[in-house]
């Protein structure tokens, strides 16, 4: 892949383009609203430009140019046939700048230089004599200017890329020849400066067009869903044209969770959104904006998949799982089942409700706890209570994952049913507190502490990341570094 393909890849889709490496077999429909935004600041654009141009140049060099040949009229000799072959660009240095605006993305490399090598040969034939010679030469292309303008649009959940304008102009060339007669040197300089410059201009312009065409095909082949794990996937259809403003690029995707078999979440999550605010990341390269519905749809997927049900038969204070300990809390239970073991079934009755507030996440969890007695080989349900648990979650970045930990704020207990006498809720509350603090929250925090992978960061590492929570949205602000294993093909 040449320098311009890689540069545009980094600029147009940057992180999202890496999703092409993750296979997807199904294509869910795009929604009109984006719940996840990737905002690349001017600092991020410069990072992408400088790093990827450097890597891409190394991948495209050496670049072969077509042979050039012509007949040159030499005083006293006549027509001499001169051929330049094996013309190769061996290095390119391209100081560059990039601008974003209403017309698209404009890249300008001004004052670029390129080093070339080539072979030369000439032959002169007359009815008296045949003269020929050959050798090699080095060429320095100076003050080269390269410019291109591209625009991108969303169509049916994918991005299309169009080249509006491109060009390459070579201002100056110097040629150093090894071998040959002195008269030949000036002939080559005078006769071939223009053709060599034209060959370089045509080759680079052709590479630009080929690269944009390849990138357009690659963008349109991006998967529309990305697997997160064996349960869930994320809908990554694009939801509008990239926004190019204030030297930044914003790309919006649907971003909501779904099941691996393409089951979408309920439509009530599709509600009005506020525009992303990149002003929270003034000094960082990238901002990743996540709406609270991203987390709520994840909760729905895992709830429907049966991952929010637990059976508790071990406890830090194991005596709590014996009817003897309950004889003062639930005396009828002890009378019917004295000194029997117990088991608790904890089940969420609905998906957790997650709200992003200032500087935090609020989580409301509705669950039922069923008390079972182990009588001989029989498991006997004897009572049930409902809990409403209010917790806060403090998110943080763990490498390239979004992790967090739930902390209990408060809870309420209500009576459901009992098969053996009355269950007094005030007496049960201390045990309910112990269950929530020592069993339920540790179960829930186990996957949260491992973190949820951000599926936009293939080939990149977050650096000095910060998280800003505001009403209904979370903004991850970070600098970026290339992963060691990152490779541009």
The predicted pLDDT at position 1 comes to: 33
**Percent of the chain clearing pLDDT 90 (strictly above):** 21
The predicted pLDDT at position 3 comes to: 36
Q: Which of 132-146, 163-177, 443-457 has the lowest mean pLDDT?
A: 443-457
Q: Which of 432, 294, 410, 279 shows the shortest CA–CA distance to 355?
A: 294
**Residue 263 pLDDT > 80, yes or no?**
no
Measuring CA to CA, how many Å separate 286 from each of 74, 132, 203, 278?
Answer: 61, 61, 34, 9
The predicted pLDDT at position 19 comes to: 29
Average pLDDT of the chain, as a whole number: 80
The predicted pLDDT at position 342 comes to: 92
The predicted pLDDT at position 215 comes to: 81
If one compares 301 and 2, the residue with the highest pLDDT of the two is 301
The predicted pLDDT at position 458 comes to: 66
Backbone angles phi, psi at 218, to 5 degrees: -70, -40
Cβ-contact 251, 238 below 8 angstroms: yes
Tokens of 15: 């992180």
Q: How far apart are CA 377 and CA 299, in angstroms?
A: 35
**Residue 149 pLDDT > 90, yes or no?**
no
**Residue 9 pLDDT > 60, yes or no?**
no
Query: Look-up: residue for tokens 């709590």?
Result: 320
Backbone angles phi, psi at 54, to 5 degrees: -60, -45
Query: Look-up: residue for tokens 């391209």?
Result: 94
Cβ-contact 226, 234 below 8 angstroms: yes
If one compares 383 and 101, the residue with the highest pLDDT of the two is 383
**Residue 42 pLDDT > 90, yes or no?**
no
The predicted pLDDT at position 355 comes to: 94
Give 128's DSSP letter.
S
pLDDT tens digits, one per residue of 380-395: 999 999 999 999 998 9
Measuring CA to CA, how many Å separate 422 from each of 344, 361, 478?
Answer: 18, 37, 56
**Residue 438 pLDDT > 50, yes or no?**
yes
If one compares 21 and 232, the residue with the highest pLDDT of the two is 232
Q: 203 in helix, strand or coil?
A: helix
- Strands, E assignment, 246-377: 248-253, 257-259, 286-291, 309-312, 341-348, 353-357, 360-375
Q: How far apart are CA 433 and CA 436, in angstroms?
A: 5
pLDDT tens digits, one per residue of 245-262: 667 788 888 888 888 876
Tokens of 106: 């404009």
Query: For the residues 333-353, what does the mean pLDDT come to?
Result: 93
Residue partners of 358: CB distance under 8 A and separation at least 6? 469, 470, 471
Query: For the residues 330-357, what does the mean pLDDT come to?
Result: 93
- Beta strands 248-253 and 36-40, pairing class: antiparallel
pLDDT tens digits, one per residue of 264-320: 565 555 554 555 555 567 678 888 889 999 999 989 999 998 889 999 888 888 888
Query: For the residues 147-170, what does the mean pLDDT come to?
Result: 86
Burial annotation 233-258 (CB, 10 A radius, 16+ → b, else e): bbbbbbbbbbbbeeebbbbbbbbbbb
If one compares 378 and 28, the residue with the highest pLDDT of the two is 378
Query: For the residues 33-54, what does the mean pLDDT come to?
Result: 78
Cβ-contact 439, 408 below 8 angstroms: no
Q: What would the DSSP string read from start to end of 258-291?
A: EETT-PPPPGGG----PPP-GGG-TTSSEEEEEE
Peptide bond into 62 cis (omega under 30): yes
Burial of 359 (0-12, 13-18, 19+ CB in 10 A): exposed
Residue partners of 305: CB distance under 8 A and separation at least 6? 231, 232, 259
Query: For the residues 4-8, what does the mean pLDDT come to?
Result: 35
The predicted pLDDT at position 76 comes to: 63
pLDDT tens digits, one per residue of 200-246: 888 888 887 887 888 888 888 888 888 888 888 888 888 888 887 66
Highest mean pLDDT among 62-71, 105-114, 413-422: 413-422
Cβ-contact 356, 469 below 8 angstroms: yes
Q: How far apart are CA 411 and CA 275, in angstroms?
A: 34
Tokens of 443: 């179960």
């Amino acid at each position: 892949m040449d320098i311009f393909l890689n540069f545009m890849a980094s600029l147009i889709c940057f992180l999202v383009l890496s999703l092409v490496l993750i296979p997807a077999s199904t294509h869910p429909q795009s929604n009109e609203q984006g719940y996840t935004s990737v905002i690349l600041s001017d600092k991020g654009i410069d990072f992408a430009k400088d790093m990827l141009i450097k890597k891409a140049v190394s991948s495209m060099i050496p670049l072969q140019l077509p042979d050039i040949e012509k007949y040159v009229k030499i005083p006293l000799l006549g027509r001499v046939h001169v051929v330049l072959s094996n013309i190769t660009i061996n290095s390119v240095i391209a100081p560059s700048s990039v601008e974003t605006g209403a017309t698209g993305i404009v890249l300008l490399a001004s004052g670029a230089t390129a080093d070339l090598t080539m072979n030369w040969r000439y032959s002169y034939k007359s009815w008296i004599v045949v003269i020929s010679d050959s050798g090699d030469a080095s060429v320095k292309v100076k003050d080269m200017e390269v410019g291109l303008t591209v625009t991108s649009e969303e169509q049916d959940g994918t991005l299309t890329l169009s080249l509006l304008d491109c060009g390459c102009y070579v201002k100056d060339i110097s040629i150093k020849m090894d071998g040959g007669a002195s008269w030949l040197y000036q002939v080559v300089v005078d006769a071939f400066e223009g053709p060599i410059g034209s060959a370089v201009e045509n080759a680079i312009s052709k590479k630009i067009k080929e690269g944009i065409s390849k990138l357009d095909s690659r963008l349109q082949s991006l998967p529309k869903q990305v697997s997160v794990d064996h349960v869930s996937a994320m809908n990554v259809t694009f939801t509008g044209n990239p926004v190019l403003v204030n030297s930044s690029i914003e790309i919006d995707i649907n971003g909501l969770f779904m099941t691996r078999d393409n089951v979408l979440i309920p439509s009530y999550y599709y509600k009005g959104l506020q525009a992303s605010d990149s002003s929270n990341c003034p000094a960082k390269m990238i901002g990743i904006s996540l709406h609270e519905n991203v987390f709520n749809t994840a909760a729905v997927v895992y709830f429907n998949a049966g991952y929010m049900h637990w059976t508790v038969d071990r406890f830090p204070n194991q005596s709590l799982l014996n009817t003897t300990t309950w004889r003062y809390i639930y005396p009828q239970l002890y009378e019917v089942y004295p000194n029997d073991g117990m088991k608790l079934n904890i089940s969420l009755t609905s998906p957790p409700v997650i709200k992003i507030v200032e500087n935090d996440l609020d989580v409301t969890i509705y669950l039922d706890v069923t008390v079972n007695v182990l009588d001989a080989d029989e498991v006997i349900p004897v009572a049930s209570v409902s809990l409403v648990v209010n917790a806060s979650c403090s998110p943080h970045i763990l490498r390239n994952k979004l992790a967090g930990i739930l902390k209990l704020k408060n809870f309420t207990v209500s009576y459901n049913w009992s098969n053996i006498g009355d269950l007094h809720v005030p007496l049960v509350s201390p045990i309910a507190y112990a269950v929530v603090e020592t069993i339920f929250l540790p179960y829930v925090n186990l996957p949260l502490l491992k973190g949820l992978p951000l599926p936009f960061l293939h080939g990149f590492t977050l650096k000095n990341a910060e998280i800003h929570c505001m009403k209904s949205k979370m903004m991850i602000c970070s600098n970026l570094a290339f992963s060691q294993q990152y490779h541009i093909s």
